[in-house]
Structure 1
């Protein structure tokens, strides 16, 4: 092993769509969704194509300051902590990455305001009358399963 960590999108656990100037990522197991803009969105788009290293990301930016590697690593750790990416075993990926443009610190916003709706399973979380029963955190839904 070469000691360099590669990161890839955790595809089975989420859904993501790009809109005008942001990418929205929904994590199925937690019900949280995430907004990625600017540099964070550019990094995400490259991760869709191939696993990347911190150095590949930094090298693909223009005018990256000395602290860029630490900021990218911090951002990737946030993605890992939220189970949006995973460490990849694919060490065959090219270190050449399409330009990410001018450097901007990558950030993301986390939202949980639609958690109950996103976690609701209208097929299985129903009561005896067939109406969905939303499960609240550690509670179990009433009625037959």
Structure 2
């Protein structure tokens, strides 16, 4: 599947990416370089939430419900994951 988030949630996904669900993981390909990124199950949930323009607060609620973690841990995990996405130029904050 390949589409772009238009930033309705404060994030913009790099338009040069395509992605696909593979066995409860997300595989993301940067088309110009051919570089692959693989996200674990939680990373997959966060990525899909970003592509669906879900707000960060909504993503936190999803992580808390699905993985039975504290709000603080969910926020920390999401912040860490998004920082990695930003550092790799996969998403930008708007």
TM-score (structure 1 length as normaliser)? 0.49
Residue of structure 1 aligned with 2:10, choices 6, 29, 32: 6
The one-character-per-residue Cα deviations of 1:67-102 (angstroms, maximum 9, x if unpaired) are 3212210110101111111213xxxxxxxxxxxxxx
Residues 46 and 78 of structure 2 are in contact (CA less than 8 Å); yes or no, is this contact kept in structure 1? no
Aligned to 1:64: 69
Task: Report if aligned partners of 1:22, 1:37 keep a CA contact under 8 Å in 2.
Answer: yes
For structure 2, the 5+ residue unaligned runs are 1-8
* CA distance, structure 1, for counterparts of residue 20 and residue 11 of structure 2: 19
Q: CA deviation at 1:32?
A: 1.9
Runs of at least 5 residues in structure 1 that lack an aligned partner in the other structure: 89-145
Q: Which residue of 1 aligns with 2:19?
A: 16
Q: Which has the higher helix share?
A: 2
Q: d(CA) in 2 for partners of 1:68 and 1:49?
A: 19
2:91: which partner in 1?
85
The answer on whether the counterparts of 1:8 and 1:51 sit within 8 Å (CA) in structure 2 is no
Q: Residues 75 and 25 from structure 1, CA distance in 2 versus in 1: closer, same or farther, beyond 3 angstroms?
A: same
Aligned length: 82
**C-alpha distance in structure 1 between counterparts of 2:83 and 2:61, whole Å:** 19
Does the 8 Å contact 1:26/1:33 carry over to 2? yes
After superposing on structure 2, the runs of 4+ consecutive aligned residues of structure 1 that deviate more than 3 Å are: none
